[in-house]
């Protein structure tokens, strides 16, 4: 496919997200330098005598997939962007064998179809491998790599067949061992490291957030009665790609009217009507780090009284959640701060009835605010890292209150309260199909929360001015 032949060009704009080795060596070098720092932390966390294996993500489907995206864990420790790769870390081995990288060798007849490769030489010269070999030689060399090792740590990249063969080969050597040789997933170790971002990672998150904010500004301007949701979506994608994003961080969600109350609406094929709300949840990925940003606004450019009332509650709730996102605060406390504001607001509007504490305790408010207030974000939109949930709180309705993990500087999370009023006789018709969610990227710092994406307007006056050219 011609699209795949242009891979290297697309990857140049993604700050190291794909196979652009020969086209732009500096991009690959930047990714490798970042990965080297991460790799040292992972190796330091392995027990003596261990061997760690990382597998790449499966190849993309040339017919339907977007640009190939490497498995986040393998990329985190190698910076290597290509499929058909295996990284092996053996920290206790002799020099020259502590970091081995198995890669697809250079072969122009194949590269002409799928993009240029680093090859064995590039794996060493650019990506820092002490030893590099063709990928086809992994199983032949695995016996030597694992010999004498006392524990196996692995990340399979989603390749179940590779995992099964790896574990089988490991167990086959147990007969020659005098002690049990445990096997463990690398996830707990790597994901805890990924949860705290360093300065280089923060810079990529910052750029992804800035691009996403620019895209939302373009989308607000593009929305109008009679246009289709996909036209707004197209403005988002265009702005992200024009700004250097490799891909979108996740499938864009652009829902108007009755679709604004559907949390993960995907079709984007409806003609938008005056008097409706749009919920636009879209973020760019830059250099393998993604933003997650949502803005809500009226199709016509002016908030109705009912839309304004709902939106103001959501905005107040988001501000309360952001203010709570400080070092030492539990993730559940951020959520609780948004819940209190939402419940008080819905009581004022008559959309909830009763007493605040009772509504929170019963979770009845979740009929209109059904999701949490945020999640970790980084290399993946719902990024890895433990929330340390209280195991005694098992039901789904309790999960957001169960997050005991304390925030630390360097963590990045979203804050995204929302209210969604469906067509339901329990509510006055004037509220039907009003959905509103406001979501931003928040970096936890010693000085307090930093909003990375607040360049995209949130205040009603700013949205209306951007959409219509004048404030109310």
Q: Residue 244's closest CA among 415, 17, 445?
A: 17
Give 416's DSSP letter.
-
Q: What is the pLDDT of residues 258-304, one digit of tens each?
A: 999 999 999 999 999 999 999 999 999 999 999 999 999 999 999 99
Kindly name the residue from 437, 440, 464, 467 that is annotated as catalytic. Answer: 437
Is there a catalytic annotation at residue 38?
no
Q: What is the pLDDT of residues 409-452, one digit of tens each?
A: 999 999 999 999 999 999 999 999 999 999 999 999 999 999 99
Q: Residue 116's closest CA among 196, 9, 199, 30?
A: 9
pLDDT at 6 over 90: no
Domain covering 2-193 in this structure, CATH number: 3.40.350.10
Strands (E), 416-470: 418-421, 434-437, 440-445, 448-451
Is there a catalytic annotation at residue 416?
yes
Kindly name the residue from 73, 111, 333, 416 that is annotated as catalytic. Answer: 416
Is there a catalytic annotation at residue 440?
no
Kindly name the residue from 3, 37, 40, 65 that is annotated as catalytic. Answer: 65
The burial class, CB within 10 Å (0-12 / 13-18 / 19+), for 364 is middle
Q: In the numeric block, which tokens belong to residue 51?
A: 């061997």
Q: What average pLDDT does this structure show over 298-324?
A: 98
Kindly name the residue from 84, 111, 229, 281 that is annotated as catalytic. Answer: 281
Kindly name the residue from 375, 389, 458, 467 that is annotated as catalytic. Answer: 375
pLDDT at 376 over 60: yes
Kindly name the residue from 68, 99, 153, 420 that is annotated as catalytic. Answer: 420
pLDDT at 20 over 60: no
Kindly name the residue from 292, 333, 383, 464 that is annotated as catalytic. Answer: 292
What's the pTM?
0.91
Is there a catalytic annotation at residue 281?
yes
Is there a catalytic annotation at residue 133?
no
pLDDT at 165 over 90: yes
Q: In the numeric block, which tokens belong to residue 92?
A: 């206790």
Q: What average pLDDT does this structure show over 72-100?
A: 93
| Model pLDDT, residue 180 | 85
Domain covering 196-468 in this structure, CATH number: 3.90.230.10
Strands (E), 287-411: 289-290, 294-298
User: Which residue ranges make up each domain of the chain?
Assistant: 2-193, 196-468
Kindly name the residue from 98, 371, 404, 405 that is annotated as catalytic. Answer: 371
pLDDT at 464 over 90: yes
């Amino acid at each position: 496919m011609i699209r795949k032949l242009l891979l290297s060009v697309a990857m140049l704009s993604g700050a190291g997200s794909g196979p652009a080795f020969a086209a732009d060596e500096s991009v690959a070098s930047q990714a490798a330098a970042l990965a080297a720092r991460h790799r040292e932390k992972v190796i330091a966390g392995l027990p003596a005598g261990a061997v760690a294996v990382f597998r790449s993500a499966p190849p993309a489907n040339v017919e339907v997939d977007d640009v190939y995206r490497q498995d986040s864990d393998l990329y985190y420790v190698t910076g290597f962007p290509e499929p058909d790769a295996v990284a092996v870390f053996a920290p206790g081995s002799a020099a020259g064998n502590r970091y081995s990288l198995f890669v697809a060798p250079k072969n122009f007849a194949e590269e002409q179809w799928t993009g240029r490769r680093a090859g064995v030489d590039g794996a060493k010269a650019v990506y820092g491998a002490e030893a590099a070999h063709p990928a086809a030689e992994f199983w032949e060399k695995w016996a030597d790599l694992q010999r004498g090792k006392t524990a196996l740590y692995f990340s399979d990249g989603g390749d179940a067949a590779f995992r099964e063969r790896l574990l089988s080969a490991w167990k086959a050597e147990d007969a020659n061992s005098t002690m049990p040789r445990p096997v463990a997933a690398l996830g707990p170790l790597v994901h805890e490291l990924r949860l705290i971002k360093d300065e280089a990672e923060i810079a990529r998150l910052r750029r992804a957030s800035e691009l996403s904010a620019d895209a939302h500004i373009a989308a607000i301007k593009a929305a109008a009665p009679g246009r289709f949701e996909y036209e707004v979506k197209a403005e988002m994608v265009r702005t992200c790609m024009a700004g250097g994003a490799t891909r979108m961080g996740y499938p864009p969600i652009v829902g108007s009217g009755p679709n604004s109350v559907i949390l993960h609406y995907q079709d984007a094929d409806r003609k938008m009507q005056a008097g409706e709300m749009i919920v636009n949840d879209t973020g760019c990925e830059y250099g393998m780090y993604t933003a997650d940003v949502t803005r809500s606004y009226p199709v016509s450019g002016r908030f109705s009284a009912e839309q304004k009332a709902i939106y103001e509650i959501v905005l107040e709730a988001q501000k309360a959640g952001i203010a709570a996102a400080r070092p030492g605060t539990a993730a559940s406390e951020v959520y609780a701060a948004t819940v209190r504001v939402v419940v008080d607001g819905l009581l004022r509007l008559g959309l909830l009835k009763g007493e605040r504490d009772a509504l929170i305790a019963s979770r009845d408010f979740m009929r209109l605010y059904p999701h949490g207030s945020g999640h970790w974000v980084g290399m993946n939109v719902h990024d890895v890292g433990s929330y340390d949930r209280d195991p005694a709180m098992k039901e789904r309705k309790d999960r957001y209150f169960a997050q005991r993990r304390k925030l630390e500087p360097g963590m990045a999370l979203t804050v995204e309260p929302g209210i969604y009023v469906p067509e339901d006789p329990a509510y006055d018709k004037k509220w039907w199909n009003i959905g509103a969610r406001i979501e931003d990227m928040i970096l936890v710092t010693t000085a307090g929360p930093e909003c990375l994406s607040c360049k995209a307007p949130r205040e009603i006056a700013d949205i209306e001015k951007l959409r219509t050219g004048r404030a109310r």
